[in-house]
Structure 1
Amino acid sequence: MENNVKKQFDQAAPSYDDKHGKLIPCYEDFYGAAVTWAEVNNNSPYILDLGAGTGRLTGMLLDKYPGAHVTLIDLSEDMLQKARERFAGNSNLEYIAADYLNYEYDRSYCMVVSSLSIHHLTHEDKQALFRKIRSLLKPGGVFVNADQAAGSSPAFVAEFKRLWLEAVTATDLKPEDIEASQKRRLLDIDATLTDQLQWLRDAGFSEVDSVYRNREFTVFVAKA
């Protein structure tokens, strides 16, 4: 699975930023909610971005915290190269091409964030990752995950997919771009909102909630 995900996103990297927003019908609200809830009492926080890709979420967080120190980790070196180009000249950023679940981090963080990445993990690995994130956070730290949550029944799952396809088909995306996104989505292993909230509680977070949802697109917040 890991190699398949890496291959798909390596292939998508050259034009990923041009199409990403159009493939998420609620893009502005979805990412906006994540940034709003990425709140810590520190003007220069240490932030870990899991599955950082081309750095879209990191860029939004740097607008909010210009003095932040950010570690961007992703399986795809090609995606990270786009992030390096985006943030050229910012010496407060570190780039790691690795599997973020098994990587051995050497520091703790004020904030851990992720966007549209963790749903690629098996449910067991999601739970292991949540425990790892909890151990990496400083007291008072926060984990913000803008990701996908499965519908509570097969009927809702099917309706979410139908509505997504209807929305992206109405954009100016080319049919081959939509087809490529559908192919990537075959690798998704979405868990329900209820299960993910419980797994965060089980990982030891003191407060957890879903602060935004538009069909499968969901923002989770968990406080250490």
Structure 2
Amino acid sequence: MEDKRFHGKAGEEYSLFKLACPHFEELENTLGKIIKEQFQDKNNSEIKVLEIGCGPGFTTLIILDSDKRTKVVAVDNEPVMIEQAKEILKEYTNNNRVQLTECGALEFLKKQSSNSFDVFASGFTLHNFPNDFREQVLAEIHRVLKPEGIFVNADKYALDNESEHKQSLSWQLQQFKEKYSQINRPDLIKEWTNHYLEDNKPEVIMKESEAMKSMNKIGFKEIKIVFREQMEAVLFAKK
């Protein structure tokens, strides 16, 4: 089951997450760089991109900037996020480069034709799903990607080494405490801390090696981590 996890202040003021994640832009820019590199020598008239969990549109902007041929189908199940995205992406929805859809991930994917997208790209979304639900979503992503289509996900991939993972989690929780204290937002400290602790539960946590193993079983190939900083990483794969 897919929960709505950004209906509170974390969703309404998602832009403030960047304050507590100093490598956010580098992470996102890596995603865009990969799309650019993968398609710069290809003669596609358009690059059809599926983005699950578009949020307010930060990752969508990176995708759009990666190649002028990109056209993005951006999906989110949170009304508060879609409303922000409508404003941030207004220019691109007006010129038909972005189609915004309020819908659950699996529900949306099951309605799509097989082999219909060149790219799946997402930021900070898949880690929110329970493990069994995530596997279903990944299987559907594989189905809707075209042969040789690419998967690029900038997200929370927990380190396999338990000690290193605990250190990274502790570091991130401290970032929330320090950065949000500076702007007098104890509410955000509490909300983001709870969110990260929820992500750390056994039935939710997305561990690097387990994620790669699951994707390999589904049929993805060339699976690799191309960027990592603390808890976050960019994972690349092909269909």
Tell whether the structures are fold-level matches, with TM greater than 0.5. Answer: yes
Higher alpha-carbon deviation: 102-111 or 58-67:
102-111
Rate the CA distance shift 1:184–1:43 in 2: closer, same or farther, 3 A.
Answer: farther
**Counterpart amino acid of 1:25?**
P
Deviation at 1:11, TM superposition (A): 4.1
User: Hey, what does 1:61 align to over in structure 2?
Assistant: 63
User: Hey, what does 1:80 align to over in structure 2?
Assistant: 82
CA contact (8 A) 1:25 1:168 kept: no
- Mapped partners of 1:185, 1:202: distance in 2: 27
Check if 1:112 corresponds to 2:116: no
User: Hey, what does 1:14 align to over in structure 2?
Assistant: 12
Unaligned runs of 5+ in 1: none
Check if 1:157 corresponds to 2:193: no
User: Hey, what does 1:28 align to over in structure 2?
Assistant: 25
Check if 1:214 corresponds to 2:219: no
Task: Choose the corresponding residue for 1:179, options 190, 214, 218.
Answer: 190
- Mapped partners of 1:117, 1:79: distance in 2: 13
User: Hey, what does 2:98 align to over in structure 1?
Assistant: 93
CA contact (8 A) 1:10 1:76 kept: no
Helix, strand or coil for the counterpart of 1:147?
A: strand
Helix, strand or coil for the counterpart of 2:216?
A: helix
Q: How many residue pairs are counted as aligned between the two chains? A: 221
Of all paired residues, the percent bearing the same amino acid is 22
Check if 1:123 corresponds to 2:131: yes
- Mapped partners of 1:77, 1:4: distance in 2: 10
CA contact (8 A) 1:151 1:157 kept: yes
Deviation at 1:187, TM superposition (A): 3.1
CA contact (8 A) 1:142 1:222 kept: yes
User: Hey, what does 1:2 align to over in structure 2?
Assistant: 2
**Counterpart amino acid of 1:195?**
E
Higher alpha-carbon deviation: 131-140 or 22-31:
22-31
CA contact (8 A) 2:176 2:193 kept: no
**Counterpart amino acid of 2:193?**
Q
- Mapped partners of 1:32, 1:200: distance in 2: 23
Check if 1:202 corresponds to 2:217: yes
Unaligned runs of 5+ in 2: none
For residues 172-200 of structure 1, the C-alpha deviation after alignment (integer angstroms, 9 at most, x for no partner) is 44333222211222332222111111111
Check if 1:70 corresponds to 2:78: no
Deviation at 1:23, TM superposition (A): 2.6
- Mapped partners of 2:175, 2:196: distance in 1: 16
- Give 4+ residue runs of structure 1 displaced > 6 Å after superposition: none
CA contact (8 A) 1:109 1:136 kept: yes
Q: What RMSD in Å do the two structures reach over aligned CA positions?
A: 2.0
For residues 143-169 of structure 1, the C-alpha deviation after alignment (integer angstroms, 9 at most, x for no partner) is 111111223244333211211133344
CA contact (8 A) 2:52 2:122 kept: yes
- Mapped partners of 1:212, 1:43: distance in 2: 29
> TM-score, normalising length from structure 2?
0.84
> TM-score, normalising length from structure 1?
0.89
User: Hey, what does 1:102 align to over in structure 2?
Assistant: 107
